[in-house]
Chains A and B, each alone.
Chain A
Amino acid sequence: MTAPFEPARGYRLNPAVALRPEPFGALVYHFGTRRLSFLKAPDLVDLVRGLGNHRCVSDALATVPDGRREVYLRALAALAASDMIVPQPSTSEVPCG
């Protein structure tokens, strides 16, 4: 079972997952589960790619325009539920967000 999505934690793209650039965004493929998913906006692709560089999800979402933040948060939660993104090995005890 996948742990519940916690925006206050750091996440990263699962190493078993590949992103393939597409005109609409990207195709996401999980080599382990063989599941296919789609990111339907280029800036969502950037967000997912760069997720691992942020201490937590809320941090990563800081630069996303207000109007889209909620939608992208839901998208990330869905990606976490399907194991496409995974929690960072915890490096900091201080949660953020």
Chain B
Amino acid sequence: MTGGEPQQSERVPALVEQFKGGLAAPICLTWEWTYACNLACAHCLSSSGRRDPDELTTGEMMSVIDELRAMQVFYVNVGGGEPTVRPDFWELLEYAVASQVGVKFSTNGLRLDAGRARRLAGTDYVDVQISLDGASRDVNDAVRGRGSYDMALRAMENLAEAGMADFKISVVMTRHNVCQLDDFARIADRFGAQLRITRLRPSGRGADVWHELHPTAEQQREIYSWLIDHGDRVLTGDSFFHLNALGATTIPGLNLCGAGRVVCLIDPVGDVYACPFAIHDTFKAGSLRSPGGFAEVWRSAPLFAQLRTETSGGACRSCSAFSSCQGGCMAAKFFTGLPLDGPDPECVKGHGVSGLTAAAGGGLPRAEKDHSHHRPAVDVGMPSIGVPAKPCDSSPLAVTT
């Protein structure tokens, strides 16, 4: 969550305790506008590629915006797929902004030419987030596809030139780019942008590459230390709270799984999920096409009621680190076959690893919506093939030049 600044008071329970019971409306709502995408990133959370014929129409999208306005959802994180390939993207963007529903949209940069960049810079209440998963062309393109680095950098140049201040550069941390953290920060500085780093999840196509791409235990410590040193200037979407057990200092953020409490996902066909990393029936709360719309799902879905009760903590309850890591990420556990009330697969105490070995024997749950291109739209070499110029795995402490 961005910009949270809880008031301090000793008379009432900590804010994080209050959040566990859920909010009147989400604070952090991710809304994916289409499954269509020009890219075919290896780790795509939503297995995007082809448009779903049943995606919400322009009229339906506007009705949802009206509803969000009524619920006082002040901003939404728009993603996809590549949201800008929707022909009505700019129309919807303007409609949302005029309705006082601010938009931060994630893009690979496809449509951000100089003209668009100037228009965006002139629009209040819009924030842009460019995805980049390598600070160098080879590391990025190995995951996101050939040409995607140049496309992202071109978009950043256009935004910076148009005077768009503080746009975001969003990086999914992988085994190959942890050693580039300082390089990413330099790129952000160069464009007057803000860096955002998030955790690689085994969701969507991410399940296929998670085992080879997720940061090593040593790299997790590197991410943690780096965030402790730079966390005040870097956004994380609260995705690294499972690393808090690594030290006495807590990474800035809510330190809470917000699924169904402060966070949820609306997918392109109007299905509502507990979080953007859990597109699976187990975490589907309902559809906003049902009577009562989104508000009814948010307020009354049995799944959300369940997520808003105290979790047992299960096997983690007896661990000394439970209060720092809260058992980690629900989606990461689910898609690696671990019990939801047990340790995270990346548990810093190593409690998740043994479970992974056991779980690998059975069939793992798969994302239930796959819109992947039948053939990759762009060349996607696996990271092991496109050897990074600065391979993190050779020495995670390598000094970058």
Question: Interface on A for B, CB 8 Å cutoff?
Answer: 18, 20-24, 27, 29, 31, 34-41, 68, 71, 74-75, 78-79, 82
Contacts and interface: CB of A to CB of B under 8 A. Distances in A.
A22 B5 CA distance: 16
Interface of A is mostly: mixed
A38 B15 CA distance: 8
Interface residues of B, number: 26
Contacts of B75: 34
Given A40-B9, A41-B12, A71-B9, A31 B18 contact: no
Given A20-B74, A41-B9, 17 more contacts: A20-B24, A21-B24, A23-B21, A23-B22, A24-B12, A29-B74, A35-B5, A36-B27, A37-B6, A38-B7, A39-B7, A74-B8, A75-B7, A75-B9, A78-B7, A78-B8, A82-B5
The 8 A-B pairs of least Cβ separation, nearest first, read: A24-B18, A20-B72, A29-B74, A40-B12, A35-B3, A36-B3, A37-B5, A75-B7
A55 to B, nearest CB: 24
A40 B5 contact: no
B4 interface: yes
A82 B6 CA distance: 12
A41 B72 contact: no
A91 B4 CA distance: 34
B11 A23 contact: no
A78 B6 CA distance: 10
A29 B75 CA distance: 10
Interface string B23-41: 1110100000000000000
Nearest to A41: B12
A31 B74 CA distance: 8
